Copies of this chain bind each other. A is one copy, B any other.
């Protein structure tokens, strides 16, 4: 018996620690395929095209939308973000697990197209910690921080439409929870493919053994 690859979506308010948790998970399970998003936002210091994001123009992004090349896309803080469909489909077809770090709008779009996708909402340990993390990074202007606080409020309303909620108290603990979710989801009967050691279960009835 073999399980299919899992399409796991990780969302949560900016400042929840999604990036750190994703990197730590990939270090522990290098077999997971991390999807790289396309975006129209400007690269931050140190960000590399094709590694952190595919940085594209608005015109190019619109072309990708029109050609149906995006699994999901969304506008956040005035910038566009989207997931190239083909690389996700290819990785799943190879039986790999795929990790998407995208916002809640994108997550719900993915669930519509891939009902078997697993949506995980990452939360900081408390409201105070979230506010601290959002304001404490020190790299963003005040306006940006206020926009993020507002957007975090909006995102939290989607929490109960997600499959799982993981509290990021410690990175290791959050990563262990994500690994457990992957193991558990592979045990879902809908995902289990019976191989020749079982044959088709429907043949069981009246089978002579």
A residues near B (Cβ < 8 Å) are 1, 120-121, 125-128, 131, 149, 153-154, 156-157, 159-160, 162-167, 176-177, 179-181, 183-185, 187-190, 192, 197-199, 201, 204-207, 209
Contacts and interface: CB of A to CB of B under 8 A. Distances in A.
Contact of A199 (B127, B167, B188): B127
B183 A165 contact: no
Copy count, this protein chain: 2
A164 B188 contact: yes
A103 to B, nearest CB: 16
Contacts of A121: 189
A189 B207 contact: no
A149 B205 contact: no
Contacts of A183: 176-177, 180-181, 184
A197 B126 contact: yes
Contacts of A204: 127, 153, 156-157
A29 to B, nearest CB: 13
Contacts of A188: 163-165
